Amino acid sequence: MRKLLHIAALALMLLTAAQGFAAPQKQGKKSLQNQIAKLEKDISLINAKLEGNRRDSKQALSSLTLVRSKVSTREKLIREYDRTLSTLNDSIRTCEREITALQNRYDTLQRYYARLVRSSYKNRDSRLWYMYVLSSESVGQGLRRFSYLRRFSDNMGQQAARIRETSARLEESKARFSSLRQEADRMKGNAVKERARLQDEEAEASRMVARLNKDGDRYRKQLQDMNRQKQELNRKVSEIIRAEQEAARKKAGGGKKGGGAPKTTVTEADRKLGGEFAANKGHLPWPVEGVITERFGKHMHPVYQNVELPQNNGVTLVVKRGAPVKAIYNGTVTQIVVLPGYNQCVLVSHGTYYTLYTKLRSVAVKSGTKLSTGQQLGTVDTIGGEDLFHFEIWKGSEAQNPEEWLRK
């Protein structure tokens, strides 16, 4: 009897564990599905921009950048499919173990229930039960025997209920196993298709590089113009930020110390706001929805591989035409300037940090405007047929990698 109760308890523990397993698995699966949906959306945006570029032969360099971004995004998508498939396979293996364990418990419960039924049948004459109690050597033994017989009777009903419950759980696990198998097969098929598309896109990029090399002089001139514009942006932003820091120093009453370099003075309000901004590193919202086409740092040109591009102090994204641009954190607009190739640029102060929003068409703010997180600054302009947005984050006079600061 005790052995039977022990087995039944183990079965219930197993069922509880099986229920607890489902929630985290669903959470992880949902996260992967969201990531896959985001990457597929990014690829659709790039495809739309490429389709527009095909009607304009002047956009060859831009098209190559987009194709390379699509290749990179497609590689990420394949990795997400592989991760999802791996998660599904883990779930399938766990489900198989659950089914085996439940089947074993079900078989065990059935065997012991059969014993109870046989024992009950053999002793179906109620007089035998009474005699068993009355033949006790003491009152205590009689009470124990009576208690045992009552538990035996109750256990018959309990075991029948546990068998039904285990059977239902077993069927649920089998159904889930079948569903996981189907989903894994579908995911495997998607990954195969994406790898085929990736090969086509890599081949397309190679063909574009070859075409650009044939008409090298023309595209080198475009490249030189773009590089000059980027260098001018870098110079101008550094100059503006230094001027802002100097103005803040004078306002706070800072001066030269011991005839040396100017002493940097930060107000308590700036220090507090800067600390709050820094505390949100990795969790700040993106200023616009789009796909990164150029990342932070130094890069070599994708066609003329011996040409090093100017330092990129931020990230550049391809976006939908007229996309709204929003402030990533509370702050104050310090300056709005117009630069060649970048149109209207909005610099926002966040205490000891700055953010720069460029390539804007319409600007909804002015210098001195107090901003809150998510407030619209303007919309992205279409420059030379391209819908690009460039964004930077600065800690004082030091450029930061925006991808380390913005929400993943």
Return the HEC string of 208-239.
HHHHHHHCHHHHHHHHHHHHHHHHHHHHHHHH
Do 76 and 144 belong together in one domain? yes
Instruction: Output DSSP code: residue 349.
Output: E
Q: Is 192 a member of any domain? A: yes
Q: How far apart are CA 112 and CA 134, in angstroms?
A: 28
**For the domain that residue 228 is a member of, what is the CATH number?**
2.70.70.10
Tell me which residue range forms the domain holding 275. Answer: 224-405
Please report the beta strands in 218-323, taking only residues with DSSP state E, as ranges in sequence order. Answer: 290-294, 314-319
Do 233 and 264 belong together in one domain? yes
| Last-in-domain residue among 214, 238, 273 | 214
Tokens of residue 270, six digits = 């700036």
Q: How far apart are CA 32 and CA 396, in angstroms?
A: 37
Do 116 and 255 belong together in one domain? no
Q: Is 52 a member of any domain? A: yes
Q: How far apart are CA 72 and CA 75, in angstroms?
A: 5
| Last-in-domain residue among 214, 235, 270 | 214
Do 170 and 238 belong together in one domain? no
- Supply the pTM of this predicted model: 0.63
Beta-bridge partner residues of 332: 349, 370
Q: Is 187 a member of any domain? A: yes
Q: Work out how many domains the chain is built from and give that number.
A: 2
Tokens of residue 256, six digits = 């030269």
Q: Is 238 a member of any domain? A: yes
Give whole-number Cα distances, 120 to 148, 304, 307, in Å: 13, 90, 91
Listed as ranges, residues in the chain with pLDDT below 50 are 1-24, 27, 124-134, 146, 256-263
Q: Is 219 a member of any domain? A: no
Do 210 and 228 belong together in one domain? no
Do 159 and 273 belong together in one domain? no
Q: What is the pLDDT of residues 287-339, one digit of tens each?
A: 999 989 889 998 877 666 677 788 899 999 999 999 999 999 999 999 999 99
| Last-in-domain residue among 214, 244, 265 | 214
Beta-bridge partner residues of 290: 319
Do 288 and 258 belong together in one domain? yes
CA nearest 33: which of 211, 138, 176, 186? 186
Give whole-number Cα distances, 147 to 12, 128, 153, in Å: 24, 16, 10
Do 206 and 258 belong together in one domain? no
* pLDDT for the residue numbered 28: 64
Q: How far apart are CA 342 and CA 338, in angstroms?
A: 7
* pLDDT for the residue numbered 127: 43
Tokens 């630069």, residue located: 339
Contact indicator for 322, 380 with CB cutoff of 8 Å: yes
CB atoms within 10 A of CB 53: 21
Do 139 and 271 belong together in one domain? no
Contact indicator for 361, 377 with CB cutoff of 8 Å: no
Q: Is 33 a member of any domain? A: yes
Do 182 and 314 belong together in one domain? no
Tokens of residue 86, six digits = 């791996």
Q: How far apart are CA 330 and CA 293, in angstroms?
A: 27
Tokens 């820091």, residue located: 245
Do 20 and 85 belong together in one domain? yes
| Residue 275, C-beta contacts closer than 8 angstroms, at least 6 positions apart | 351
Beta-bridge partner residues of 333: 348
Measured in whole angstroms, the distance separating CA 138 from the mean position of its chain's CA atoms is 71
* pLDDT for the residue numbered 93: 84
Q: What is the dihedral of CA 205, 211, 213, 219, to 10 degrees?
A: -100
CB atoms within 10 A of CB 281: 12
Do 245 and 181 belong together in one domain? no
Tokens of residue 190, six digits = 């998607």
* pLDDT for the residue numbered 115: 66
* pLDDT for the residue numbered 53: 58
Q: Is 271 a member of any domain? A: yes
* pLDDT for the residue numbered 244: 83
